[in-house]
Structure 1
Amino acid sequence: MAKLFHPWSLTLCGVIIALGMIGGAHAASPDPELVSKINAATFEVVIPKAVDDPLTYEKPLPLDLLPYQERTDKYFSVGTAFALGNNRYVTAGHVLMVAIGDLTGPPALRDASGHVYALDKIEKFSLQQDFVMFSLKEQPGGGALETNTKPALNSVVYAVGNALGTGVVIRDGLYTSDTPEEENGRWKWMRFSAAASPGNSGGPLLDQEGKVIGVVLMKSANENLNYALPIGEVLKAPDNLAVMDKRMSYQLDVLDYDQNGTFKSQFPLPESYADFSSTYLKLQNTYNEQQLQALLQQQSGDLFPHGAGSNEILHDTPQLSFFPELIGHNRSGQWEYGGRELNRVPLTGNGYVASGYVGHNFLMHLRRPDDMKASAFYHDPKQMMDLVLKTGYWYRQVGPEKIKITSMGKPTTDSTYTDSWQRHWKVYVWPQPHINAEVVVFALPVPDGYAIMMRVNPAMITHDSIIDMKALTDFFNVDYGGTLAQWKEFLADRSLQPDALKDTRIDVDYGKRLSYDANNVAFSYPSTLQTVAPDNMLAVGFGYYDNHGKFALEAGLIQIRLNVTDPDRISIKRHVAPSSDLNDNFKEGWGKLLHKQHPFDGVAYNDGDEMDIARVIDTPAADAPTELYTAFYGTQGTHKPEDMKTKLDLLTQQFKIKSH
């Protein structure tokens, strides 16, 4: 069933629900006296619009394109509420939920004359039955609605609501049937044929005499009927108590199974809206944290990099993917890379923003423009986000126009997070108060810029996004690349480096020599092998290596090219003996390495329009080595075999394997 959100809240939830005009029995309209009574007891639920906008736009917002009411209104209309007397007001629980975590102010009620009434205390709340009862600080002068807890089936009913935020609308239909609630039939929903629109949520369902028989909540997904909670359920619910007892499913984008559970808790009322929101969020956040941990522990032995389904990735050579990927579990039981570059927007100074997505996550590779200092780039989140915004993907809709957002200013959250692979992330949150949403960014520094994971979500679920994204960092795969000049700046700032690079030293004497020294290998070569210049491209591909049952992120491929466009390259690869469950391709490749067969025999060969040569680097004697290294040199054109061998000798003569 689909809840009857107002379009503003639909934007926040990323859901589009089209509610058609539903045909029903056409009864005579209520008499004017009854209509007047209904109008006096029915209110809009509103949330204040942002007064201060932290965003900067490409041009002044053309607010004159908006309808007059929307342009001049200081509030968003998000639902409907009604009065039961004795300072008791009722609306749908999900209408109140729209405001929790609000960035602009608490919800309030507004009457037909435009007067706004602040909420006082939350008196009753049920997450599962989707209602809330509350009081107001100031009492409106209008009357209240009577109730009828025993309405007759097939009788005429009126659905009353603030349809689309344009004022109270009364529409007729029939009370057609009852249906048990979905989990275990604890109560029955009322079904009715009176039309409903976004914004009707929380409004009263009335009998022909104008008495409340239900609270309008949602629309059936596959029928032209709407749903209401019987008012009797509201009245008999325990006083002064907030109750959460609802089945929920928790899902993580890289897993193909969910964690199902019940959010079950309660806390005493009455409380102010602010205290209610704070208490509810703490309980919900704690529950979601528990669900996430239960989900990860459900099959902890099979999570990457554990379990047989991980072996293809563990035994393959890194593919030098500078665009970030998420390692996900597919339905055949294997872990595989997900995510690819779908679009690239160029920036000045050879910079660019490449983008794609996996599940709920935007993935990006931001290459820093050459004319931007690394010290400012890596430590100025505003500047980083301003570059991302140059893609034009982020905009504010004003009438028919999409106005680009050019800056979000400084983030409201600026922290760090270290994942299980000991990579150090920068975590930022930027508010979007015009839609009560927040942008959450996890940015991983890499030599040429950032590998980014991003979400845009309702402010209420920012905590959920952050714990999700923290978990996803352990499945986030990206290799490190950049020019030698970029690597020099990157390695100079220890705060940017993953632990896998903490012992890496790259000594460069431009025009003469390059030396690479890491925890597992070291090598050095002169410029007679390959010109050593600032724009040489150095790439380090990382793999996941098992060291006595404990996995670590370590370099598995080191490649150096003349520049970003030249195919001439040298590379050092680390190879791991295949496990018994892997296919014959892995075993055949390992056999060639063990026996130094082509192409690892140190003999030059043509490969298209280039010439290549590779060899296995000798290791200390071992009956059954579990790791081997190869050295490779490739260059364009055709060359003498002896010259190619000389080149390869220059690469390997100072090569040292430091660990296995």
Structure 2
Amino acid sequence: MAYRNSRPAGRWTGWKCLIALACLTVSSTTWAVSLAPEQLPAIQATTFEVVAAKPAQDPLTYEKPLPLDLLPFQERNDTYYSIGTAFAIGDGRYATAAHVLMAGADSLWGVPALRDNGGKVYAIDKVVKFSLQQDFAVFTLKQQPGASALPVNTSAAAGQAVYSVGNAYGTGVVIRDGLYTSDTPEQQDGRWKWMRFSAAASPGNSGGPLVDQEGKVVGVVLAKSPNENLNYALPIRMLLDAPEGQADIDVRGGYQFDVFDSTVSGNFRERFALPLALDAFYATYMSRLNAFYDGQLKALLDGQSERLFPNGEGSQRLLHEIADMGDLPRIVARDGNGTWVLAGKQENDTRLSANGYITPGSFGKNMLFHLRRPDDVPADKLYDDPTVPMDLLLRTGSLKRTVGTENVTVKSLGKPTVDAVHVDAWGRRWQVWIWPIPYANARLMTMALPVPDGYVGISRYAMAMQEHDQLINLKALTDFAYVNLDGNLAQWRDYLARKDLRPSALAGVDIEFDYGKRFRYASQRMELSFTPELQSIQPDSVLTLGFMFFPDGNKVVWDVAELWLSATRNDQNYVMAIRAQAATSSMDDDVREDWDRVLHRRHPNDAIARDGDDRTRITAVVGAPADQAPSVLYTAHYVEEGKQSPEAMKAKLELLLKGLEVREH
């Protein structure tokens, strides 16, 4: 499985990502007017780093001890991550950027706190003002540092010298000079104007004060312009004039889903009373945000209902094609022409010991995988302990932690914090696993579907605060997953013994076999049984059930459309039974021609042996005759390696047809 840091497809895409720290990375500017030296002590005393405690314990296991000596001295010895800047505004209150404070929501690091120039850390007590759209937060501390506030200047004018004050790259508070260049309307509705300035700002400056030559605060440093080397600040008067005791949220953005390119736009608009203790503030905010995400996803899918697979004209071809028998999961997605197709890119297998292997793939920002269980790993251990399949997946060396100049392979994630079951729209029982990645403040989210030979699955990374949003998207994505059930008969025996793993499509299916004696498959659609006279029936014989989405009366189902059984994994001797659906007049010519050849028993469906590719094949049609206008027929196939006589192939076909009964028409 090719693990990569990625931005998953289900997401909120407003002007400011609701969780990301602003990336303030403009080059330094030289400005002739200097800040008076006597102002420096007051500025430094009233400006603080915003820090979050590093995780006390790391649940991950690495291939070797982390080479922390490669990190700069301060970084490797600091017990905190430096995430932003804050400053005192008087009356025991402090201000920072809203997005800096929100970095602590659902975080795997410690909650944000302030650290002064002497290294002392102060815990945040209550949030008293908050505006997500204007990007500021005002709060109190549990213990006062004793620093007085800087004076403010609410009438600063473009053209004057300004100084950005803040934590640059986590190395402490620095002051850099530039020019207040202009004002620009906020992007959503022009409800106010941002200050634009050229003083250099770096990652970590967000939330710090922007001061004038006299050391007076004129604004709050917030973000870098996406198009040019100018930065944004909020005028300080807007923070001071904001209503007391209120959290105000009003931001617009677009919500997207992986399988089509449509977007739904909406406003995340909420208001709730303050003050609130920091943990209560986070809980209130996240409950409102998560409910908003739920509504956005529902609105997006509801708005597409008439075109959403399996509905709409673009679905018809996929609903009538022969099953794709690959063991890597695919995703049903809408292409640029509005047609629903099987999507997903397969990569080269990674071999494991004892016949195990991993087939990785990708779809957009999602990671796809098929894990074939090694023979020396017991089935119950694989299905019941999530650490077992994940440790196997990690043997690809695909998840690495960068430390200095080295990339260190992660060998184990430990126990997941979430181990649950999600049943999708088709009755498939996905195991839901979520693992924390503390050093990245992220989570690895995996939907794993048990199959006879192991698992197929979909994974994605999410920033810690995105857990709910990405989980509902990942669950919705399972409804569009195209998967088959595959394994040798020994693996099938273990799988069938676990009723808790089976999809509902197997509820009315009997699969019975007695090594060396008999095989039987029976469902409401068809029955196939045979003895070793037709095909070897041994523990290493391979059975694949090819599933499709197809019409069944007035609904679409996910059900078995193809059965394939071979003597061994690499054996060219096999039997198949394939379901064929009548093509409608609106279907493409090639689809209607395929159905016509089946309906009228024309070549290659004429029960006449044919050879090629070092194999001999023979195919016949089972079901109602053409004059009864059937909607469903089955083709029966027998294939044997090498060039075989027509008589021998005819005899094998007769054995196959003797045990094949079609129960639907």
Q: Aligning the two structures, in what range does the TM-score lie when normalised by the shorter sequence? A: over 0.9
The correspondence for 2:334, drawn from 329, 344, 360, is: 329
The correspondence for 2:313, drawn from 296, 303, 308, is: 308
The correspondence for 1:21, drawn from 23, 27, 39, is: 27
Which residue number corresponds to residue 109 of structure 2?
104
Q: How far off its partner does 1:340 sit?
A: 2.4
Q: Which amino acid aligns with 2:539?
A: P
More displaced 10-residue stretch of structure 1: 198-207 or 543-552: 543-552
In 2 relative to 1, CA 92–12 (structure 1 residues): closer, same or farther, beyond 3 Å? closer
Which ranges of structure 1 fall in alignment gaps of 5 or more residues?
1-9
The correspondence for 2:390, drawn from 376, 385, 389, is: 385
The correspondence for 1:489, drawn from 469, 483, 494, is: 494
| Deviations, residues 405-458 of structure 1 (Å, cap 9, x unaligned) | 211111111111100000011111111222221121111101111111112211
Q: Which amino acid aligns with 2:569?
A: V
- Contact kept, 8 Å, 1:519 with 1:659, in 2: the verdict is yes
Quick one: distance in 2 between partners of 1:392 and 1:21?
37
| Deviations, residues 110-145 of structure 1 (Å, cap 9, x unaligned) | 011100010011011111111111111111132211
In 2 relative to 1, CA 620–491 (structure 1 residues): closer, same or farther, beyond 3 Å? farther
- Contact kept, 8 Å, 1:44 with 1:111, in 2: the verdict is yes
Q: Which amino acid aligns with 2:42?
A: K
More displaced 10-residue stretch of structure 1: 13-22 or 501-510: 13-22
- 1:155 aligned to 2:160? yes
In 2 relative to 1, CA 11–164 (structure 1 residues): closer, same or farther, beyond 3 Å? farther
Which residue number corresponds to residue 137 of structure 2?
132
Secondary structure class of the residue paired with 1:29: coil
Q: How far off its partner does 1:370 sit?
A: 0.8
Q: Which amino acid aligns with 1:121?
A: K
- 1:538 aligned to 2:538? no
- Contact kept, 8 Å, 2:545 with 2:562, in 1: the verdict is yes
- Contact kept, 8 Å, 1:22 with 1:225, in 2: the verdict is no
Which residue number corresponds to residue 263 of structure 1?
268
Quick one: distance in 2 between partners of 1:343 and 1:289?
37
- 1:177 aligned to 2:182? yes
Aligned pairs for 1:451-490 (under 5 A) are: 451-490=456-495
Which residue number corresponds to residue 5 of structure 1?
none
Which residue number corresponds to residue 529 of structure 2?
524
- Contact kept, 8 Å, 1:422 with 1:498, in 2: the verdict is yes
Secondary structure class of the residue paired with 2:449: strand
Secondary structure class of the residue paired with 1:302: coil
- 1:619 aligned to 2:589? no
| Deviations, residues 503-529 of structure 1 (Å, cap 9, x unaligned) | 222222222322222231111112122
User: When the two structures are superposed, what TM-score results if normalisation uses the length of structure 1?
Assistant: 0.96
- Contact kept, 8 Å, 1:368 with 1:449, in 2: the verdict is yes
In 2 relative to 1, CA 245–167 (structure 1 residues): closer, same or farther, beyond 3 Å? same
| Deviations, residues 26-55 of structure 1 (Å, cap 9, x unaligned) | 134322211111111111000000111111
Which residue number corresponds to residue 401 of structure 2?
396
- Contact kept, 8 Å, 2:23 with 2:202, in 1: the verdict is no
Q: How far off its partner does 1:225 sit?
A: 0.7
- 1:272 aligned to 2:277? yes
- 1:217 aligned to 2:227? no
Q: Which amino acid aligns with 1:248?
A: G
The correspondence for 2:44, drawn from 39, 42, 49, is: 39
Quick one: distance in 2 between partners of 1:528 and 1:572?
18
In 2 relative to 1, CA 63–422 (structure 1 residues): closer, same or farther, beyond 3 Å? same
- Contact kept, 8 Å, 1:157 with 1:172, in 2: the verdict is yes
- Contact kept, 8 Å, 1:616 with 1:629, in 2: the verdict is yes
Q: How far off its partner does 1:200 sit?
A: 0.8
Which residue number corresponds to residue 449 of structure 1?
454
In 2 relative to 1, CA 26–18 (structure 1 residues): closer, same or farther, beyond 3 Å? closer
Aligned-residue sequence identity (percent) comes to 48
Q: Which amino acid aligns with 2:52?
A: I
The correspondence for 1:350, drawn from 347, 355, 368, is: 355
- Contact kept, 8 Å, 1:610 with 1:637, in 2: the verdict is yes
Count, aligned residues: 650
In 2 relative to 1, CA 260–150 (structure 1 residues): closer, same or farther, beyond 3 Å? same
**Aligned residues: CA RMSD:** 1.8
Which residue number corresponds to residue 592 of structure 1?
597
In 2 relative to 1, CA 565–14 (structure 1 residues): closer, same or farther, beyond 3 Å? farther
- Contact kept, 8 Å, 2:22 with 2:206, in 1: the verdict is no
Q: How far off its partner does 1:12 sit?
A: 12
Q: Which amino acid aligns with 1:569?
A: Y
User: When the two structures are superposed, what TM-score results if normalisation uses the length of structure 2?
Assistant: 0.95
Q: How far off its partner does 1:74 sit?
A: 0.7
- Contact kept, 8 Å, 2:36 with 2:213, in 1: the verdict is no
- 1:119 aligned to 2:136? no
Q: Which amino acid aligns with 1:74?
A: T
Aligned pairs for 1:633-652 (under 5 A) are: 633-652=638-657
Which residue number corresponds to residue 9 of structure 2?
none
Which ranges of structure 2 fall in alignment gaps of 5 or more residues?
1-15
Quick one: distance in 2 between partners of 1:368 and 1:460?
33
The correspondence for 1:67, drawn from 64, 72, 79, is: 72
The correspondence for 2:553, drawn from 538, 542, 548, is: 548
